[in-house]
Amino acid sequence: MKDGLEAKHVRVTGRVQGVNFRAWTRAEAERLGLTGWVRNEPDGAVTAFIVGPGAAVETMLERLGEGPPAARVAGVSAEATDSEEAPDRFAIVY
């Protein structure tokens, strides 16, 4: 890990596309001071790469489990990964 940062690859399933999930995720990540990205997947899931202090990453995982008001999250899986390729900001990837 770079500079004591934690990094996670996250997959969120359920009703998570077409409900403002990516924009909501970016806003929440920015509030928490996280960097990374979020994108829609062809199978209807949303995936994200989140990097930041451990406590902020854990808070973000909890928030992803709730999602924005129109979402219906069925599951969140997170896998630790290397933070070396962390972007400078949080972006929506198309």
**What Å distances lie between residue 74 and 2, 13, 65, 81, CA to CA?**
31, 5, 8, 23
Give per-residue pLDDT as tens, 2-45.
678 999 999 999 999 999 999 999 999 999 999 999 999 999 99
User: Which pair of tokens denotes residue 62?
Assistant: 């909890």
The CATH topology of domain 6-92 is: Alpha-Beta Plaits (3.30.70)
Domain spans in the chain, listed from the N-terminal domain onward: 6-92
pLDDT score recorded for residue 85? 78
C-alpha span between 33 and 63 (Å, rounded): 14
pLDDT score recorded for residue 86? 79
Helix (H, G, I), strand (E, B) or coil at 39: strand
Catalytic residue among 40, 63, 72, 89: 40
pLDDT score recorded for residue 50? 97
C-alpha span between 52 and 69 (Å, rounded): 25
Give per-residue pLDDT as tens, 56-65.
999 999 999 9
pTM: 0.94
Catalytic residue among 22, 26, 63, 72: 22
Note if 31 is an active site residue. Answer: no
Note if 40 is an active site residue. Answer: yes
Higher pLDDT, 38 or 87: 38
